[in-house]
Structures are given as C-alpha cells and as structure tokens.
Structure 1
C-alpha cells in the first residue's frame, strides 16, 4: 500500500507513458505504465525522482533499477543501475546505467549485457536502442557458453566491433566479427548474420561436416538453408571431395491439407560406371474430401550402386507408390499402384513383377436379428512383367519370364462370440469367398483362367484363468483351441503372391496362413495354444506362449508339389511347434524370443532380441536364424546377429557403436563407432563406419565424419543435464 500510492500519483498526474503500444501493429493497445518505488519526489525544476527498489512496467517490459529520474523538459529517463530490463519471456537486458525516452524505445545503456532465450549472451560496452526495434551494441562479445567468475574465457565466442539486433526480423548482424576459441582468433568475417534464438527458420548456412571416405575421398559438406516462405524451404548441400562433386537438395512444403518432402542429389564423380549419377526420393500426404487421404512416395536412382556408395540408402528394392485410402470405424477403402525396382545383383527387372496394383474394400455390419458381426470384403490385385517371353528362363524354374496376373476376390464372413459357463469364451465364424484369376503369358505353367468358391467355418474356445496371490503377484494362463474347415481346392494357378510364409503368434488361429488369397489352407484343420503371463509388483513381467497346427492332409498344389515351403513350419500334417516369450523389467530391460521347432526340436526359424534403455544406456541386440530353403530363394542357412548401442560415458561424453555380423558366412556386414561431446554451447561429433561387401558392383567403404555445432542459436542443447555449472 505504501509503494502503490506514489505509483498512482505518478501515473495519473504526469502521464509518464501514453497508452499507445511499442510492439507490432497487430498487438492490442497498451493500458499505460505502472511505477513502483520506495520514495518519489517532485523537484522544483520539473524533475521527478523515484528511488529505492524502483520497478517500472509498461506492456511486456519490466524495468528494475536503483533510481529513475524523469525530466519533463527533455522527456527522458535517467536510470541509475544496476538495471534489469525484461522484454517479454525471451529477452533480458542488464546494464550499469542508462538514458531512455519515456516510451523506452530510444536511448543508451552502458555496460550492457543481453541474454536471449536464457542461452545466447551479448556483452557490450554500450547499447543504443532505436525505435524499440533495433539494438545496436558496440565492442561486443557473443556466446552461448556458461561464463563463470573465474576470469577464464568461454569455450567459444564471437567478438565484433558492432552487433545490430533486429527484434522484429529476429536477426543478429555482426560487423568485423572474429570467431574465438578459448580467446584465440580462428576465423574472421567482415560481415556475419545469424538468427536470434527465438527464430526457428532463417536463410543461412547450417552445420558443416568434414568427411573422409575410402571410396569418395576427403571433402566437406556445407548445407545452405533457404526460407522460401512460412510454409516451404529448400536446403542445398554442396558435397565436394577430391573424387566427387555432389549437390544434395531437400525441399519441404506444408499445405493446408498435407505436406511434401523431396530429397535428392546430383553427382559428377569417377567412382561409378557413369560420370553423372543421382537419386530422387519424394514423400507426400494430403487430406482429401470425405475423409480420404492421398499418399505417394517416389524412389529413383541412376544406378544400382549409387545409394550405397554415398550412404543415402541401403535398400535393395526401391518402391514408388501412389495410394488413396479412407479408414473409418466400420469401413476401410484403399487403392494403390506400386512400381518396384530391384537393385540386387543377378535379378532382371524385366522378369520381375515390377508394376503392382491393389484395391481393397472392407465393411462391417452389426445385425440385431442374428447378432454378431458381418464382414464384407472385396479385393483386386494385378502385377505386370515387362518381358514378353512366354517361356521360363534361368532365373527361377517355377516362373515364366513374362507372366502377368489379375486376381479378384469377394468375401463375406459372420462372427459371433458367447460367454459359456465357467468363464469359457466361444467364437464361431462362417464365411464364403470367391476368387477369380486371369493369367497371360503363363508359358503353359498352369491355367490361364480359373474361378474358385471357398466356404469356411471355425469354432474357437478360450478359457482365461487368473490367479492373484497375497504378495500382489498376478498370473494369467489362457488355453485356446480351434477347429476349422475350409472347402474347395487351390486352382492350378502359378504361385506369384504367397511365395514366403510367416508362421507366428499373429496367425496361429487364422483360417489361412498364406500371405495372399491366391492360396488358401484347405480341408479340416485344428490349432491349439497356451499363453501364460505373470505380473510382479516389483515391476517386472514375463510371458510365454506355444502352439501348433494339425491338418487332416498336407497342402498339395494342383501340380502335385507341396504348397508350403520346407522352412514355413507348416509343410507337414503336424506343423512345427511355435514358441514365443518375453521378459520385461521396470529398469528398461526387455528380452524377446520366438522360434519354430520341428519334431526333432531342431530350429526352422528363430529370432531373439534384447534391449536395455535407461538415462545413460541404450543397448539392443538381435539374432536371426533361418534354415536354407530354395523355394524362398535362400540356398544357404541364414545366421546373423546385430548390435547397436550408446552409453553416456560422462556428463558431456556419449559413445556409440554398432556391429552386424553374418555368422553363416563368417564375415562382418557393417560396423561403426561414434563419440560426441555436448555441453550448453557446443556439440562435437566424430563417427566412423565401415560397410563390407562381397558384391561385384558394391565396394567396401570406410567413412569418417566430423561435425561441429555451435549451440544456442537455432540449435539448442538436448537437455539441461549437459549444461556446465560454475564452481565456487
């Protein structure tokens, strides 16, 4: 109450600041100023002196000082420091003394220090403010490093004769700038422009990288970011080495109903068979009317080795697709056209189904009279090979070089659940499907046209049992049994879609485990499974599941050969036994494994994964085993493990490593090491990687990359734990 009385007198009697604002025109008008002080005196020469814990608030500005003297004749404020001036939430100004006009838009501050976004600091002998927009700082040192009162210089700083801060454009302009590391000049620029920390996107250079490659030579990447507008930008990255000249580009645009991303590069080098090489990847997504969504992606490369040589991608199949879909609670519609290009050695794209079209429709209904759920579906699939050959070549014995195929499928299913006595859950399913096939250029390997009607039905019983003990442990065990029948027979149509079968927990109780409807599991089938789960109050949980499939007879093609491959686990009347388990703890450790085992308990397929994540550690390892199977284009066993991880060695140091090893061939596939130093103002990263290759078109490559990032402007530190502290 004592401090507010002088403030009221000062605001009403003198009108120290008018009600007009000093921010952008779009801001609402200011409602006057408030001045708080321990003592306010009106002098005989029309000067007003406020002293003792002075606080002045106007708009989003708040000024604290030892004393403020207002001279009505000159309409100026003389401020005695220490001065603390806060402008919004992002700018803090400290000064020893100053003189400002009554709107605080123009004036001079001596011994000024500006802190932007609590990160970037600008220290100057003097600072001049102009029209509330520009701040001109003279003999300035700029850094984002923590400065302690030890007399030691910051890790890095930019010294400049003059720095202009444009608060409206949010840019910093340097004149006669020097980049200093530990106060040693390392670089000079007569003119330099940097965005202030509040600006997320601004035209200018990004972080450079120094690269040394055994294949491409030594060189530099220097990205340049171009802000085309508020919703689009372009990044150009020259990549120059002693063996290669590359221009990388990235274009991004956001629309009101979607977004677009285009990446690519153009290269002139002496590495490949052609002097001019390049690639183009594009991804787009757009929302259409009536809840439809349009998506597309483009993947094109000049040659099969280019993406691998430059590390842009390690895919051996490129796919370009355009699709439109709509997903609602009880309806799904999707149509897609896909173009595939194989980059594998020895494969001819003319004899592969490179153009694939798919259309799908699903609808769910819930009839009250009969209960349960009705599902209606329709599919159309077609694939095209550019080859005109009608005979089989040397690529695969079961494929005709130019065979093309169309498939149409319509289906209807009814499902209903019941809860039986003793907690048993029952599910009944009945359905009918119609499949029609048209084959051209089949080369005599089967029919040219066929139609098949497939009725099906199944009954499934589940009995979930729960046990809770006094110590808080909960265990759940659920046995499941299913009996199903699928009528009809697989027509004598070449198998182009269901060439590889996956048998796991997801399809253990499916009516058909083929990957597409061109094949269906026929006849009488039975499946059983048991799943056990334990939840411990200490925070860990474990689960184990196993199951098996029985059928009255083996799946046989119309030609007399087995339909299911030897490594599918389903090739015999009694399938392989499926095992799957998982163990998780609250400290981030997860162990997962699954596998198929034959009657001799020999593994057909198996995989295991272990991961551990906490505040300092990120580790993961994977092992895969696949039995050889020529029908799945796998002449030899596959045995491979991979490892990747990072560990925070100290407060500012983080190490990374990865390794992939082919156990079956006893050769490494890839390896890498990395080390990063991070604090509040700088990030130094060095990475080394090596790719091993036995291909005649790909070469073994070793890459070493070094990157320096000055943090605090558009690049922030990852978290506060990297910020250094000052010792007392």
Structure 2
C-alpha cells in the first residue's frame, strides 16, 4: 500500500479539504504541546499515513505507519484520530516523538484538550540526550516549559526484561524544567539492583543536556595515614555566565578541610583562586593554603600574569595530596610580544619547603626587567639582537652567613649579531659576535666590592658539512654531518658572586655556543672549540633516528663550575645524544655525558609509547653530586602507564624510584570501570617522603559517577546485550 501525504488536492469536496486543514492545524499545535521545545516557529505540520478516512460523523482517522513532522520534530504512531465535533485529537501507540535537541518520548497513548494548552501521555517514557531515560505512568505537558512525570523510574542503565537495572531512582513525581534543564524529584529512592539504599524527600539534578549548572559534583571517598577515613563532597555553584564557585568540604576522622575554588572569566582574561582552611590532629592550630593564578590582556597588547602560592607549613601540600612541590614561587609578570622583540617585567617571591634549606638564602625576592629588540636584516646582514636588563635580588636574614645576607642589583646592556651562509661544496658557515656591559651593586658581603663594572665580549664561527645518501631502495635517506665550532671570549672587570649560573649543562645546544651558561654572572673566558658528528636516518613514513657525539676543548679551565657539569676542565666530558621517532607509536630521547675513563657524569632518557590499548611514558635521570648547589647524587627513574582492557576496564600505574637512595619516592595504582550508566574509579597511592615535618603516608580513593546526570557528559561505552 502506498503512503499518502496529507494535502488538499483540487477537485475534492470542501469538507475533506476543511477537515485536513483542521487536523494539520491541530498537529501544528499538538507537537509543541507534547515536546519540550522552549520556542517554536509557527511552521506547517505534515502527515503521512497508509490510509486516511473520514467517517459520516466527521471524524478523521489516519492509520498505519502514521508519521507527523513539525519544525524538525517527528511523531510516529499507529493511529491518529481527529473528532471535529468534539474538537479532540487522540493518538494511539506505540508512539515515538523525537526532537532536534535529542529528546525522545515514547508512549502508549496521548490526548490533547480542545484548547491544545496541555498534553497527556500514558505509559510513557522520556529519553534525554540519548542517555537518561525516565519512565512514568503518565506524562503531563503544561505548555509552560514544564513536564510532570508521575510514578517514575529514572536510569541511564540498560533495562533487560523485568529485571532491575544496575541503578535507578524511583520517585513519586518528577518535574523536568526544559528552560533551566533541571530535574526535580519528590519522594526519591535510590536503588542498586532493586535494593533501596537512600531516601530523599526532595532532590534536584541536572539533565544531561546541561553543560554548566549548579549542583553536586562527583563525591570521593578516601583514606590516608595522615587524614584518616573521609569524604570529599564538592558542590558547584554557577554565578552567572562567567563565574563559578566550587565548595568542597573534606570530612575525615582526623581532619576537616574546607576547599573553595573560585573561577571567573573576563573579556580580556581569567582568574582562579583556590583556598584550603583545615584543622587536623597533626597540628594544634589551624592550617591553610592559598593557590591562585590568572592572566589578563591590558591595553597596547600588554599581558599580565600572576601566580600566588602560600601555605601555613611545609607539610600541608603533601599531607592533603595537593602537590609534590618543595619550593613555592609567587610571581607577578608583565610582558609584551612583538615581531621585533619583547619587553618583560616580573617580580617573584620564593619560599622553600625543604628541611635543609632556608628561604632567606634562595634568595626569596627576585625582580627582573628586560627589553629585547631584534633587527632583521641587520645593517651587515644576518640578525642583530639588542637587549637591556635590570636584575635585583634581596635577602633578609639575621643568620651569620654571607650567602643568606647578600643583596645584588645588576644593570646591563648587550648586543649580539648572528649570520650564516652557504660556502664551498655545501658547507654552511655560521658566525656570531656579542658584547655586553654590566654594572653591579653588592651589599652585605665583604668578599665583593660594593660596586663592580664588568665587560664581556665573544666571537665564534661554526662550520657544518651535511652529507646525504639515499638508500638503494629509495625508502630512506641518511645524513652524516660533521660540525666544528671555534670561539673566543674575554671578560674585563671585578669579581661578582654567581647567583644565576649554578646549573650549567652540557647538551647539544651548548656544545657549539659561545656562551654556555644560563645567566650573566658567570661568563666564558678564553678560546674553545666544539667538535661533533651527527648521523641521521629518516624514511618515507616519517620515522627517524638521529645520533650526535661531540666534545668541547678549551685553552684553559673554566672557573666557578662544578666538575659534575662536565664543563669545568680544558676538555669537557663526551656528549652522546640520540633521538628516535617512530611516528605516533614510539619516541625515545637520551643524553649521556662521560669522561675519558667512561665514568658517567650525567644521563637522561625519556620514553613515550602510545598504542591503541596502552600508553607508556618513562624517564631516567642521573646527576653527579655538586657541592656548589648543595645537591646530592641524583639517580631516579619514573614510569607512568595506562592499560585499556576493552571498552570498560582501564588500569593505570605510576611510580618514582630513587636509585641513589635505594628507596621509592611515590607509587600509585588505579583501576576504572565504566559502562553506559556508571563510572567507578579506585586508586591506591603511597608517598615515601620522610622528613621532620612529613611522614610516609598511604592513601586510597574511590569515586562513583552516575552517568546521565553529569554536565558536559562524555560519550560512554555502548550498553551490553541482555543475557538470555
């Protein structure tokens, strides 16, 4: 049988045309009354059915695969009846109503009053965003954006036959506010596999279409040696479109903590403030933490950034598992970036949380201002960089230690020129020249003059000769690149304390540089030559391997450096650097330095493996002890892995192990399980830090999320098949 589209063809009796017009008009009002659409345009409804008949008493009946369309909304039913005399519209199921917003109604029958102001669905079910289904004995549409559901059961779990779902919320009445996108439950009971666990007289939850709204977030159960057994119960408060506040009480057997997180977005920036106010059995007085940051764009493209970190005691961050930081830095920064350079001004306050380190000796307060201009091309070709700098650091200590009393202010100007060109048979020649003048003001340290003027100059050239070979198969290309650099640097003026160049490092970038130190207090002196050889291979799939080996040779030893840096002697340590890239699957980078006797002074390796079913990242670090910085030998390995066991199970593990101390630093294992209606995460972690203020601690955490009520819900795995 061919379906007939409802229209008014020419030549038909007036009654037939008039009746069809009336039912089309009724449908145009019927669908908005039944379907949760806050605002609908006054479009035309269309009706398609296997047969349309009109009885003698002016009752129009559409039967068989009936489909009605109105403004993107679709209604499917078995029969639609319009009684002209009673001015009444009835729909017989099974009824299916879908909307462009993702809401789905199913029902056995529907009726509309003569004024079309309210709709009634019996034996109905409402599906929101294809996640949450609410079945009810009846659904009443008021026409005001509210839907009332009577004798309801709400769940996002698959329902198999007459058996209970994994979880459900039964209520005497549920009201769905489509404007606010909230669900209000009366006389609500929470059941797991049909067993009641919780009763609430009133409850409000967001529907899954709400991206951001006030309400309870995912609670988390935890237990730790420090805090005892407890619960985190976060509550999100929406303060308009650009502000929000998250209030999280921590209630534990040995601690009470109130966490407040405030966020606000502005037209030209954002800010976030996190505070913790705590009391626990480990301290007689209250404890606190303040963590805040933000960024703003000011007029003339100036950017402002700030970061504030403050705690009541050294152990707070570790006790409450907020961070592993052992130094805090609070910073205020202004900067402006341009095509020709940048301008920067910042001030930073440092606070040490280490047992063996005083905040006064860091130094605690450091200020810096600099302006850099880059000219391209420079008057002689190449690139000319001009820079002006002002640094200051202050200490305030009564200790009888010059390093904990000294204040230093430095003002300097520098110019650096760089250029390169191709010469000869494929040779690349790079040249560099730089010079700087610095003035120092040093107080509270008798070992140095109060005013010091110093100048430094340096010139250098680097020659590279890349040789290319294409393999016979044509699938890969190999390159062999000898590199040699020659430089000379000189310094005139008095001695100054080394405040900013204590962590010099030999790597692929510093091997061929004129200045190999991170700051300005320590400057290169004398002649030096960098010699290296790089071999690389790259195939057509983008995979590659690169190896660089080299060494630095000087005419004199460099003072002010630790032997552990590998740069202090006339002959530096050997440097071997490798980089392996196998596309999206595997990446490996290693850097190793060692002397002529093959005694390793430093080693670092980073591994990244990304596969469909698992991820793995690892790092290894080895550093020799340095008396200048007070650092002991560092030998540490860390691993972080995630294993995905199908669509539902996820297992993860993280760990850090201090090889030098033969002791673990931190370990964590976690497991997650999820299906279409619930997400469960459980984890166990152990922190081995043991100081005067911090003891080792083990903690466990458990969180359960009912999918279907969380805002901005991510896609869940497909529901499994029903057994039997």
- Contact 2:295/2:303 (8 A) holds in 1: yes
2:510, 2:144 → 1: CA distance?
A: 68
Mean CA deviation greater in 90-99 or 410-419? 410-419
Q: How far 1:630 moved relative to its partner?
A: 0.8
Q: 2:96 aligns with which of 73, 78, 84?
A: 84
Structure 1 residue 19 displacement after superposition: 8.2
Alignment partner of 1:658 is 2:658: no
Could you tell me how far 1:415 is from its partner in structure 2? 2.0
- In 2, the alpha carbon distance for the partners of 1:102 and 1:589 equals 69
Match of 2:692 in 1: 696
Distance 1:7 1:724, change over 3 A: farther
**2:159 equivalent in structure 1:** 147
Work out which of the residue numbers 506, 522, 527 in structure 1 matches 2:525. 522
Q: Which residue of 2 aligns with 1:54?
A: 66
The answer on whether the counterparts of 2:327 and 2:350 sit within 8 Å (CA) in structure 1 is yes
2:585 aligned with 1:588: yes
Residue 24 and residue 97 in structure 1: after superposition, are their counterparts in 2 closer, same or farther (change >3 A)? closer
Could you tell me whether the CA contact under 8 Å between 1:11 and 1:33 is conserved in 2?
Answer: no
Q: Structure 1 245/435 Cα, relative in aligned 2: closer, same or farther at 3 Å?
A: same
Cα deviations by residue, 1:480-518 (Å, 9 ceiling, x for unpaired): 222122222463011111112122123222211111112
- Map of 2:13 onto structure 1: none
1:351 deviation in Å?
3.4
**Which whole-Å deviations, capped at 9, do the CAs of 1:643-692 have from their partners, x for residues lacking one?**
22221245422222222222212122222222221112111222111111
C-alpha deviation, 1:281, in angstroms: 0.1
Does the 8 A contact of 2:674 with 2:717 survive in 1?
no
- 1:302 and 2:299 matched: no
CA contact (8 A) 1:93 1:113 kept: yes
Tell me the residue number matched to 1:450: 452
For 1:439 and 1:637, locate their aligned partners in 2 and report how far apart those are by CA, in whole Å: 32
Contact 1:140/1:159 (CA < 8 Å) preserved in 2?
Answer: yes
Structure 1 position 580, deviation (Å): 1.1
Q: Within the alignment, does 1:288 sit opposite 2:298 as a pair?
A: yes
The answer to whether the 8 A contact 2:213-2:711 is kept is no
- 1:6·1:39 contact (CA, 8 Å) conserved in 2? no
Contact 1:7 1:34 (C-alpha < 8 Å) held by counterparts = no
Q: 1:326 to 1:46 in 2, by over 3 A?
A: farther
Distance 1:175 1:529 in 2: 76
Does 2:106 correspond to 1:94?
A: yes
Within-5 A mapping of 1:665-676: 665-676=661-672
State the distance in 2 between where 1:13 and 1:672 align.
69
Q: CA deviation at 1:254?
A: 1.0
**SS of residue in 2 equivalent to 1:496:** coil
Partner of 2:217: 206
The structure-2 alpha-carbon separation of the partners of 1:232 and 1:10, relative to structure 1 and needing over 3 Å to count, comes to farther
What is the 5 A alignment of 1:30-429? 30-100=42-112, 106-131=118-143, 133-148=145-160, 150-272=161-283, 274-367=284-377, 370-387=380-397, 393=401, 399-429=402-432
Structure-1 residue corresponding to 2:615: 618
Give the C-alpha shift of residue 534 in structure 1.
1.6
**1:159-210: per-residue Cα shift (whole Å, max 9, x none)?**
1111111111101111111111111111111111110001122222211111
Distance 2:361 2:561 in 1: 23
11-20 or 404-413, which deviates more:
11-20
1:16 aligns with 2:25: yes
Aligned 1:540-559 pairs, distance under 5 A: 540-555=543-558
Structure 2, unaligned runs of 5 or more: 10-16
Say whether 1:461 aligns with 2:463: yes
Taking a change above 3 Å as real, the CA distance of residues 408 and 714 of structure 1, as seen in their structure-2 partners, is same
2:573 equivalent to 1:563? no
Q: Which TM-score applies when normalising by structure 1?
A: 0.92
Contact 2:688-2:696 at 8 Å conserved across structures: yes
Aligned residue number for residue 595 of structure 2: 598
Offset of residue 59 of structure 1: 2.3
TM-score (norm 2): 0.93
Who is 1:474 aligned against? Answer: 477
Is this contact kept in 2: 1:104–1:132, CA < 8 A?
no
| Equivalenced residues, count | 711
Q: 1:362: Cα distance to partner?
A: 1.4
Please say if residues 92 and 114 of structure 1, whose CA atoms lie closer than 8 Å, have aligned partners that are also in contact. yes
Q: Secondary structure at the match of 2:680?
A: strand
| Cα separation, 1, equivalents of 2:465 and 2:83 | 89
Which stretch shows the higher mean deviation, 514-523 or 189-198? 514-523
Alignment partner, residue 709 of structure 1: 705
Partner of residue 495, structure 2: 492
SS of 1:112's equivalent in the other structure is strand
Change beyond 3 A, Cα 1:688–1:722: farther
2:683 is aligned to 687
C-alpha distance 414-128 of structure 1, shift in aligned 2 (>3 A):
same
Q: CA RMSD in A?
A: 2.5
Judged with a 3 Å threshold, the aligned counterparts in structure 2 of structure 1 residues 336 and 111 are, in CA distance, closer, same or farther, namely same
Whether the aligned pair in 2 keeps the contact of 1:680 and 1:717 (CA below 8 Å) is: no
Query: Is 1:577 the counterpart of 2:583 in the alignment?
Result: no
Contact 2:40 2:71 in 1 (8 A): no
What is the SS of the residue equivalent to 1:583? Answer: strand
Task: Report deviation, 1:125.
Answer: 1.6
Name the CA shift for 1:368/1:716 in 2 (closer, same or farther; >3 Å). Answer: closer
Within 1, Cα distance between the matches of 2:475 and 2:403?
A: 62
Does structure 1 retain, via aligned residues, the 8 Å contact 2:132–2:208?
yes
8 Å CA contact 1:17, 1:32 repeated in 2: no
For the residue of structure 1 that corresponds to 2:563, the secondary structure is coil
- Distance, in Å, in 2 between the alignment partners of 1:640 and 1:369 is 50
Contact map agreement 1:216 1:243 (CA 8 A) in 2: yes
Deviates more, 1:535-544 or 1:185-194: 535-544
Given that 1:681 and 1:717 are in contact with CA atoms closer than 8 Å, whether structure 2 keeps it comes out as no
C-alpha spacing 1:99/1:567, structure 2 compared with 1 (3 Å): same
Once the 2 structures are TM-superposed, how far is the Cα of residue 592 of structure 1 from its aligned partner? 2.2
Aligned partners of 1:113 and 1:5: how far apart in 2?
A: 28
- Report if the CA contact (8 A) 2:76-2:95 is conserved: yes
Contact 2:206 2:711 in 1 (8 A): no
Cα 1:50–1:491 change in 2 (3 A) is farther
